[in-house]
Structure 1
Amino acid sequence: MSPTRRLLGALALGALAAAPAAAQQYPTRPISIVVPFAAGGPTDTVSRLVAEVMGRDLGQNVVVENVGGAGGTLGANRVAQARPDGYTLLLHHIGMATTPALYRRLPYDPVNGFEPIGLITEVPMTLIARPDFPANTLAEAVAVMRQRRDQLNYANAGIGAASHLCGLLLMSRIEAAMTTVPFRGTGPAMQEILGGRVDLMCDQTTNTTEQIRARAVKVFAVTTRERVSALPDVPTAAEAGLQGLEVTIWHGLYAPRGTPAPVIQRLSQALQAALRDQRLITRFNELGTAPVAQDQATPAAHRAFWLAEIEKWRPLIQAAGQYAD
């Protein structure tokens, strides 16, 4: 073997040896979790609860960074383009499954640009309205929506957001299209609902439960097959007479494509530890949700679920003919 080849071989072996060593030392500095929505929204709430507990397990601060806009794609792009070293992560919801169908052009690959780390929670949604909305039950609300469709505003966090998907399904089921008003997140949209400047919104229980309990908004139904333990008096849409309005919003944690496998595994271990934390479980329950089972908080289970969700939502979005670009 020539000296040049021996040198190249030695350098390659050295690089391979250095990668596991670096992964074993990981993390040595704070980690950033990018949330692709505004602060105060449901995904932000989930992220901050998880980040705090993961940080204790990892021995480093885990900081949440809100990068909202463009239906979550700005924040996702930030992570897809980040160095794959485990220090910049993405916490996203069901939008990771709908983006491939909603966007025909993106600066990143919405599937192959990320490494899944694990699922976190599956959150029910609620159909809520401003406090002085002229209806007290879902049947009454549907009648108002059908009669005054041109006069009503439905808030969402942009095309592809969970609130947008729920709204599409709602308007399809009641056969009435309202005026949609997009915001940079459901946190700002909630403020408009509370102020009576927007009429209706679908949002996750992590963002609505406390407002519902305080009677600051009107609630008509939850979008699950069974009632939510945190809101036992709120009927399901089916119970209230509207069939087919079933939407739950799952959240998962991602790293940029190419992040070393040992780093992914360490992050997954920290995530699993966080989801076993009793204080986090209690807080999730208070917000109307719960952590996923431990075997779902793994890279393999997350990937399989994610790909299945992409195939589930693709034909529905294509049939609607609505694109975000």
Structure 2
Amino acid sequence: MRTILKAMAILATAVTITSGAARAEYPERVITLIVPFAAGGAADVTGRIMADAIGKRLGQSVIVENVAGAGGTTGIARGASSEGDGYTIVLGHMGTHAAAPALYPQLAYDPSSSFKPLGLVTRSPIIVFARKDLPAKNFAEFLEYARSHPTEYTNGHSGAGSISHITCALLSSVGKFEATLVPYRGNGPMMNDMLGGSVDFSCDLVVSVSSQVKGQAVKGLAVAAKERSKAVPDVPTTVEAGLPDFQADTWTGLFVPATTPDEIAQRLEAAITSSLDDPEVRKRLEDLGAEVPKPDERGGRYLADLVSSERLRWAEVIKSANITIAQ
């Protein structure tokens, strides 16, 4: 019996050593980073910047796979069902990990339990902008007119449940006014109509409209943050403009499937943190109009807490605005 027990102990030790050695060799092959949106957008460019930076730190290629559809949830679902071996990373954001559970009752993943969060990558505040010939000269005048002329303003957005939709819903709630909603299939068609003067205002990421604001093709009214955005420094914050309770930003973070071993997740988290400290990486992200998270906003634990709090916040906004998506 002693001989058998000794043999079993030796075997168990060998298995543990072999497993540890295998994980220590990670990564041995190409890593895939799933971006749940089409190529060319801000999320895609962010993903490619991070893929390049992480790959350099791990000594292995990280390729981007665009899996678009259903507001980003198609790609996130694929990531959630992937093998947890460290060779699949997922880029998620406020929409896919905070708003989606309230918008899609049959969501194929749980933002909290289906993933291990690795860390926040960027933040981008929301900007309220309007057609360039809107009579309101500033945000205060905009609010005053909207409150005294219910539903007269037209609020263009990128489709039911989009970031532009739910953030403007929050604006209307906090600002205590109603507007006439005009849905579009994407930001492009909405922006075309605004440039043509047939839509009054909208909300979106600073990174998505900073060039039009700086070129004065549209009027930047306020940035929903406590500090001005470097991308549009001439646009006041909602704090300065008199509506401090309207604070909203979108964020992107990186995740791995929940079954990924802790030691691999920790290596990836360290690579992300190191990447964000790299001046070149920071500049590339900031040139997009994004904000790089401060040191105390990094790491998996912070991102996990952010996902939990954001889910609660946006669920309330979506429910109050009665926002639904046909499935």
Q: TM-score, normalised by structure 2?
A: 0.83
Distance apart, 1:291 and its partner CA: 1.7
SS of corresponding position for 1:259: coil
Rounded Cα–Cα distance in structure 2 between residues aligned with 1:18 and 1:275: 33
Query: 1:29: Cα distance to partner?
Result: 2.5
Whole-Å Cα distance in 2 between the matches of residues 229 and 39 of structure 1?
Answer: 25
Q: 1:170 to 1:40 in 2, by over 3 A?
A: farther
Whether the 8 Å contact between 2:140 and 2:241 is mirrored in structure 1 is: yes
Note if 1:294 corresponds to 2:292: no
Q: What is the aligned partner in structure 1 of residue 179 from structure 2?
A: 177
Determine helix, strand or coil for the equivalent of 1:34: strand
Q: Give 1:258 deviation, angstroms.
A: 0.1
Cα pair 1:150 1:179 within 8 Å, conserved: no
Distance in 2 (alpha carbons) for counterparts of 1:118 and 1:54: 12
Q: Using the TM superposition, give the Cα deviation of residue 93 of structure 1 relative to its aligned residue in structure 2, in angstroms.
A: 1.4
Q: Is this contact kept in 2: 1:154–1:201, CA < 8 A?
A: yes
Q: 1:315 is aligned with what amino acid?
A: E
The answer to whether the 8 A contact 1:166-1:202 is kept is: yes
Q: Tell me, yes or no, if structure 1 residue 138 matches structure 2 residue 151.
A: no
Identify the residue that residue 127 of structure 2 maps to in structure 1.
126
Q: Which has the larger radius of gyration?
A: 2
User: Which residue is equivalent to 2:56?
Assistant: 56
Distance of 2:71 and 2:181 partners within structure 1: 18
Deviation, structure 1 residue 272: 0.8
Greater mean alpha carbon deviation, residues 38-47 or residues 114-123: 38-47
Moved more, 246-255 or 98-107: 98-107
TM-score w.r.t. the length of structure 1 is: 0.83
Q: Give the CA deviation at 1:135.
A: 4.8
Residue 55 of structure 1 aligns with an amino acid whose one-letter code is G
- SS state of the match for residue 306, structure 2? helix
Equivalent residue of 1:49, what SS?
helix
Cα offsets for 1:200-244 (capped at 9, x unmatched)? 332222222233223333211101123223322101234334453
SS of alignment partner, residue 249 of structure 1 = strand
Unaligned 5+ runs, structure 1: none
Structure 2 counterpart of 1:181, which letter? P
In 1, Cα distance between equivalents of 2:192 and 2:45: 16
| Root-mean-square deviation over aligned CA pairs | 3.4
Corresponding residue for residue 320 of structure 2: 319
**Pairwise mapping of residues 112-261 of structure 1 onto structure 2 (< 5 A)?**
112-131=113-132, 135-142=136-143, 147=149, 149=151, 152-156=154-158, 158-159=160-161, 161-172=162-173, 173-183=175-185, 186=187, 199-261=200-262
Deviation by residue 1:133-183 (Cα, 9 ceiling, x = unmatched): 565433454467665846735122541x43232111123224213224253
Q: Does structure 2 retain, via aligned residues, the 8 Å contact 1:227–1:236?
A: yes
Comparing 17-26 with 115-124, greater Cα deviation is found at 17-26
The C-alpha deviation readout for 1:91-147, integer Å capped at 9, x for no partner, is 111221233333322222332111111112222111223455565433454467665
**How far does residue 256 in structure 1 lie from its aligned partner after superposition?**
1.0
* Separation of aligned partners in 1, 2:231 and 2:32: 31
Distance 2:132 2:138 in 1: 13
* Structure 1 residues 200 and 37, CA gap change in structure 2 (3 angstroms): farther
**C-alpha separation between the residues in 1 aligned to 2:136 and 2:265?**
49
Identity %: 37
User: Larger deviation: 312-321 or 120-129?
Assistant: 312-321
Letter in 2 for 1:317: I
Q: Which amino acid aligns with 1:176?
A: E
CA contact (8 A) 2:160 2:323 kept: no
Aligned residues: 323
